[in-house]
C-alpha cells in the first residue's frame, strides 16, 4: 500500500501519523510512504528522523480576527493545493490520511479533488477548524473520543477508532522506564510534566510544592520541566530545599516517554489528546490541568471526558497552586483503592488497537478505488 500522511504544527498531530505509518509497516512490510508537512512545523524535523520521505508546502493558519494575513493564508492554501496535487500525481498513493493541523488542509483537499481515497483523524473531543472543513470531502472521519461522532454532521462516514498513539505505548518496557529516571524497580512514581515544551504554570506549581514532597513516604516525584524552563526551575527548587533529595528527580525532557509512562503510578499533565490516549492505553490515573491557550478550549473538553469516567481529577489552571496540586496528589497516592478505581476507569477508555483499526479502514478505502 502506498500512503500519503499529513499533519503538523504540534506533536499531537504528528505522532498519530507516525503511529499509523508504523502499524502499516507491521501489517505490510512493503508499504511506502510520503509525508507532506509544513516548512516551519515540527514535522519538518521529526519526520525525517523517522526515515520517512518528507515534502514541504508553505501554509499558515487562519487568524481569529479580520486580518490582511488571512487573505495571504487563502492564497497560500490554493498554492498548497496545487503543489499537493503535483506531489500526489507523482507519488500515486492508494490512500491519503490527514491527522490535523492546518497543513493537512490543502493536502487532503487535493486528494479529494483527484479522486484519491482520503480520511482524517481527529484527536480532540472538539474538532479543529481544518478537520471540520475537510470532513465534508473525505471518505471517512476517524474520532478519538466515543460519542464525538456528532461533531461531524456533514461527513460521509464517521468511525470511532481511538488515537493511534495508544498502540505505540501498549508494549512499552516498564523496567527501562525505571532505569531511565533512576529509581528502584517497582517504586511508586508520580510524573509531573507540562508537555514537550513545558508549561510555566505547572512548573511554578512544581516549585511551590517541592518542600512538601517528603510528606509522602516511598513516593518518587519526577519533574519534567521542558528544555527552556529547566535551569530556572531547578535553581528555584534548590533555593527552597537545597540539594535535591533522593525522592525528587528533575529532568528537562524525556525521550522515551512511553517506557517512563509504563512505570508511572500517577501522572500530572496537560490534556493533549495524544497524551490522554497513551495514559488510558496504559491505565494510568491522572491529574489533568488543561491548557487555556488552545482553540475552542478543547483540552478542557478532553479532560472532562476522563474526569466524568472517574479516570482523572481536573484542575483548571486559574485554580492551580502548589498547595492545591500537592493535596490532590496526596489524596490519590494515599488511597490505594481510589487509585485502583481510577486506573480501571482509565483502562476502560483506552483503545490499544486504535492504529490497527485505522489501518484496516485505510485498506478498505484503498480497495474501493
Residues at the annotated binding site for UDP-N-acetyl-alpha-D-glucosamine? 10-12, 124, 196, 254, 299
Terminal-residue alpha carbon distance, the chain? 12
d(CA 245, CA 14) in angstroms, rounded, equals 37
> CB–CB of 166/350 below 8 Å?
yes
Cell output for 23: 502499524
Residue 36 is inside which H or E element, if any?
Answer: strand 32-38
In angstroms, the Cα distances linking 253 to 22, 143, 145, 312 are: 24, 29, 28, 24
Nearest to 55 by CA among 42, 38, 41, 36: 36
Q: Name the binding residues.
A: 10-12, 124, 196, 254, 299
Taking Cα atoms as reference points, which of 20, 215, 41 lies closest to residue 119? Answer: 20
Q: How many CA atoms lie within 13 A of 208 on its CB side?
A: 14
Inter-axis angle of helices 298-309 and 336-349, to 10 degrees? 120
Q: How far is CA 59 from CA 63, 86, 89, 109, in A?
A: 13, 16, 20, 14
Cell of 18: 507516525
Question: Which spans in 155-256 are helix H?
Answer: 165-169, 174-181, 200-209, 230-241
The answer to whether residues 164 and 350 touch, using CB atoms and an 8 Å cutoff, is: no
Closest CA to 365 of 3, 99, 89: 3
Place of cell 497543513: 103
Q: Could you count the other beta carbons within 10 Å of the beta carbon of residue 125?
A: 23
Amino acid at each position: 500500500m502506498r500512503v500519503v500522511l499529513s499533519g503538523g504544527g504540534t506533536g499531537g498531530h504528528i505522532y498519530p501519523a507516525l503511529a499509523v505509518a508504523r502499524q502499516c509497516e507491521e501489517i505490510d512490510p512493503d508499504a511506502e510512504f510520503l509525508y507532506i508537512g509544513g516548512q516551519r512545523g515540527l514535522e519538518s524535523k521529526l519526520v525525517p528522523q523517522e526515515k520517512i520521505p518528507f515534502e514541504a508546502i508553505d501554509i499558515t493558519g487562519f487568524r481569529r480576527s479580520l486580518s490582511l494575513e488571512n487573505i495571504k493564508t487563502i492564497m497560500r492554501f490554493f498554492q498548497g493545493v496545487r503543489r499537493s496535487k503535483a506531489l500526489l500525481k507523482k507519488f500515486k498513493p492508494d490512500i491519503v490520511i490527514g491527522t490535523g493541523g492546518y497543513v493537512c488542509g490543502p493536502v487532503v483537499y487535493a486528494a479529494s479533488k483527484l479522486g484519491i481515497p482520503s480520511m482524517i483523524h481527529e484527536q480532540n473531543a472538539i474538532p479543529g477548524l481544518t478537520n471540520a472543513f475537510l470532513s465534508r470531502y473525505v471518505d471517512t472521519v476517524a474520532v478519538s473520543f466515543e460519542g464525538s461522532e456528532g461533531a461531524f454532521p456533514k461527513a460521509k462516514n464517521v468511525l470511532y477508532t481511538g488515537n493511534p498513539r495508544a498502540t505505540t505505548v501498549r508494549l512499552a518496557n516498564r523496567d527501562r522506564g525505571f532505569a531511565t529516571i533512576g529509581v528502584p524497580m517497582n517504586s511508586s512514581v508520580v510524573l509531573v510534566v507540562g508537555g514537550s515544551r513545558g508549561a510555566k504554570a505547572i512548573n511554578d506549581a512544581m516549585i511551590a510544592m517541592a518542600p512538601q514532597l517528603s510528606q509522602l513516604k516511598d513516593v518518587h516525584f519526577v519533574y519534567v520541566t521542558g528544555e527552556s524552563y529547566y535551569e530556572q526551575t531547578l535553581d528555584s527548587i534548590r533555593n527552597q530545599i537545597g540539594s535535591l533529595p533522593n525522592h525528587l528527580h528533575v529532568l528537562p525532557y524525556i525521550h522515551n516517554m512511553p517506557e517512563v509512562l509504563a512505570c508511572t503510578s500517577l501522572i500530572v499533565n496537560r490534556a493533549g489528546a495524544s497524551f490522554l490516549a497513551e495514559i488510558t492505553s496504559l491505565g494510568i490515573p491522572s491529574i489533568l490541568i488543561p491548557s487555556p491557550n488552545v482553540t475552542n478550549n478543547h483540552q478542557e473538553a478532553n479532560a472532562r471526558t476522563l474526569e466524568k469516567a472517574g479516570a482523572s481529577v481536573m484542575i483548571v489552571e486559574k485554580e492551580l497552586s502548589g498547595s492545591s496540586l500537592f493535596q490532590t496528589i496526596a489524596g490519590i497516592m494515599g488511597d490505594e483503592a481510589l487509585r485502583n478505581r481510577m486506573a480501571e476507569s482509565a483502562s476502560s477508555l483506552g483503545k490499544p488497537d486504535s492504529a490497527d483499526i485505522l489501518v484496516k479502514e485505510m485498506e478498505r478505502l484503498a480497495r474501493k478505488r
